Structure 1
Amino acid sequence: MPQTRMNLKVLLPFQVFAEKAGVSRIVAETREGAFGLLPRRLDCVAALVPGILIYETESDGEVFLAVDEGVLVKTGPDVLVSVKRALGGADLGQLRDAVEQEFLALSEHEQNLRSVMAKLESGFLHRFEALRHE
C-alpha cells in the first residue's frame, strides 16, 4: 500500500525543534523558489534559505515555522530538516518579520565577517610569501 503520510523532524544544532508524524504535505523555500513535498514524491535533498516552512497534519492543520538556512532531506516517508535556527508561531506576518530581521540580518553580518576573514587570510598569505622570498 502506498505511503499517504510523512514523518517530519526539524533539527537544530543541539536539539530537536519539532517532530511530527502524519504530515500530508510540506512546503519549503530554496534559492530557486518554494517547492512542495507530498508523501509519494521521490527522495530528494534541497538547500534551504531563510524563510517559512509550512507543513500540514490532520490534527494541527497548517503549521508555519520560520527557519534559517539549512538542508532538507526526504528519504521514503521521513523528512529531515536541519537548520541553524527555527521559530514557531501562529501569526504568519510575525514569522516573516522574524525571518527578515533575525535570519537575513545575521546572514549579512556573517557575510561581512567572512569578507573580513578572507582579507586577513589573504594579507597573511601575501606577507608569508614575501618573507619566503627574502
Structure 2
Amino acid sequence: MHLKILLPYKIFVDTHDVARIVAETRNGAFGLLPRRRDCVAALVPGILTYQSDADGEVFVAVDEGILIKAGDDVLVSVRRAIQGTDLAQLRDSVEQEFSALDEQEKSVRTVMAKLESGFLHRFARFQHG
C-alpha cells in the first residue's frame, strides 16, 4: 500500500510498500491489509501503526482526523502527528508537545479574556456616555 499522512501544512509521511496499518476510531482499533475493501474512517487521537519493508514497524501519535483507503492508496489527514519507533519515547514526545500546546492555549485564552474585558468596559462607557 502507499501511505500518506497529511498535516495542514505539509506531507508528514509518504511511504510505499506498506504491509499493514492499524488505526484507532471511536469503535476501537482496526487493521488495513493491502486487499481490504476501500473505506473511510474518522480517527480519534491515538497511535497509528504501520509496517513496511524499508522502515519496519513505525508508530505515529496522531490527533483526530480522517483515513481514506482507495485501492492501494491510504490517505490520513490529521491536525498533528509525532513519529517514533519506540512507544516509551513517543509517549514522552507527545507529553512534551502537548504540554507546550497547553501553555500556548492558556496564553491565548488570557489575551482573549483581556480583549473581551476591555471591549465590555468601553461598550459600557459608550452606553452611559
Provide the alpha-carbon RMSD of the alignment. 2.4
Which structure 1 segments of 5+ residues have no match? 1-5, 111-134
2:9 aligns with 14
1:59 aligns with 54
Tell me whether 1:89 sits opposite 2:84 in the alignment.
yes
Q: Which moved more, 1:54-63 or 1:70-79?
A: 54-63
2:70 aligns with 75
2:112 aligns with none
Deviations 1:78-124 (A, max 9, x none): 00000000001222023245556756xx79xx9xxxxxxxxxxxxxx
Judge conservation of contact 2:65–2:79 (CA < 8 Å) in 1. yes
- For 2:90, what is the secondary structure of its paired residue? helix
* Equivalent residue for 1:37, pick from 25, 32, 36: 32
Deviations 1:44-82 (A, max 9, x none): 000001111100011211011111100000000000000
1:27 aligns with 22
Tell me the distance in 1 between the aligned counterparts of 2:17 and 2:7: 21
Judge conservation of contact 1:55–1:64 (CA < 8 Å) in 2. yes
Tell me the distance in 1 between the aligned counterparts of 2:78 and 2:29: 16
TM-score (norm 1): 0.69
Q: Kindly name which structure, 1 or 2, has the bigger radius of gyration based on alpha carbons.
A: 2
* Equivalent residue for 1:48, pick from 43, 56, 67: 43
Q: Percent identity?
A: 70
Q: What pairs up with 1:95-110 in 2 under 5 angstroms?
A: 95-99=90-94
Q: Give aligned pairs, total.
A: 105
Judge conservation of contact 2:49–2:60 (CA < 8 Å) in 1. yes
